[in-house]
Chains A and B, each alone.
Chain A
Amino acid sequence: SAVISQKPSRDICQRGTSLTIQCQVDSQVTMMFWYRQQPGQSLTLIATANQGSEATYESGFVIDKFPISRPNLTFSTLTVSNMSPEDSSIYLCSVVTDLNTEAFFGQGTRLTVV
C-alpha cells in the first residue's frame, strides 16, 4: 500500500491567481496521476506525472493551465494556473506502486475560486 499526503487539503483562491498542490508518497511508486472531481461529478484524469520529463496530458487538459512536475519517485506537484470559478473542484493525486496493483488515492485538495 501507499500513504499519500496532499497539501493543502483545501483553499479559497482569487480568480486569476495560481495554486500549487503537492503530493507526497511514503514510498517510491511506479506511476503518479492527477485527477479532477468537479462538484457533484465523477473523476476525470488530468495527466500522468512522469519522473524527470513532461507530463502526459489527457484530451482537454493542457500544460499551460495545469503544469505538473515530478522530480523524483515520491513527489509531484500540480499547479492550477490563472484560475477561474470553473476550476473549483477537488483535485486528487493517485499512485500505483507496482504492476498489477490498484491505484491509491490521496484525500484530495478542495479548491474554491472566487
Chain B
Amino acid sequence: AQSVTQLGSHVSVSEGALVLLRCNYSSSVPPYLFWYVQYPNQGLQLLLKYTSAATLVKGINGFEAEFKKSETSFHLTKPSAHMSDAAEYFCAVSDGPWGKLQFGAGTQVVVTP
C-alpha cells in the first residue's frame, strides 16, 4: 500500500522567499505522485504530477518538484513566494493512473509581507 508523509503542518514564508514543502512517499511499486493546492472554500487544483518521465517536474504558478527515488521524496518548491500562494498544499500518491489517491496530511502555507 502507498502512503505519503508531509513534514510540517504549517509553513510560514516571507513574500519573495523560497517555498519548500516536503513530501516523502512509501510505495512498493513505482508511484504516481501529485501536488494539489486547495484555496479557502474551494476544491483541489493540480499543481504538478510525476508519472515516471522527467524527475524534475514543472507545474503551474511557478512551482516545481523533484522526484528522488533514493530518498523516496517529492518535495515542492517555488523560488519566490507571492501572497497569492497562501493556501493548503497536499501531496498525493497513486499506484496507477486511475486517480485513486492517497493524500498526505497537508501543509498550510502562510505568506507574510
| A binding-site residues for B, Cβ under 8 Å | 4, 30-31, 33, 41-45, 48, 92, 94-96, 99-108
User: A41 to B105, Cβ gap below 8 A?
Assistant: yes
Of B22-30, B43-51, B66-74, the one touching chain A: B43-51
Where chain B touches its partner, the secondary structure class is: loop
> Judging by beta carbons under 8 Å apart, are A94 and B51 in contact?
no
> How many B residues touch the partner, as a band?
20 to 34
Task: Using known A-B contacts A92-B44, A105-B43, determine if residue A33 contacts B106 with beta carbons closer than 8 Å.
Answer: no
Chain B neighbourhood of A101, CB < 8 A: 97
Collect the chain A residues with CB atoms within 8 Å of residue B98's CB.
30-31, 96, 99
- Residues of chain B within 8 A (CB-CB) of A95 are 99
5 tightest Cβ-Cβ pairs between the two chains A and B = A96-B99, A103-B99, A105-B43, A105-B44, A107-B43
Nearest CB of chain A from residue B32's CB, rounded to whole Å: 9
Contact between B90 and A42, CB atoms less than 8 A apart: yes
> In the bound complex, do residue B100 and residue A92 qualify as a contact, i.e. CB atoms below 8 Å apart?
no
CB nearest to B9 among chain A residues:
A40
Within 8 A of A (CB), among B13-37: 34, 36
A104 to B105 CA separation, bound complex (whole angstroms): 19
* Interface contact B34-A92, CB-CB below 8 Å: no
Q: Give the docked Cα–Cα distance between A34 and B102 (Å).
A: 13
Is A31 in contact with B99, judged by CB distance below 8 angstroms?
Answer: yes
What is the CB-to-nearest-CB distance from B98 to chain A, in angstroms, rounded to a whole number?
Answer: 5
| B42 / chain A contacts, CB cutoff of 8 Å | 107-108
Provide the bound-state CA to CA distance between A12 and B61, in Å.
35
If A4-B43, A43-B101, A44-B103 are given as contacts, then 8 extra A-B residue pairs at C-beta distance below 8 Å, sorted by A number, are A41-B105, A42-B90, A95-B99, A96-B97, A99-B97, A99-B98, A100-B51, A105-B45
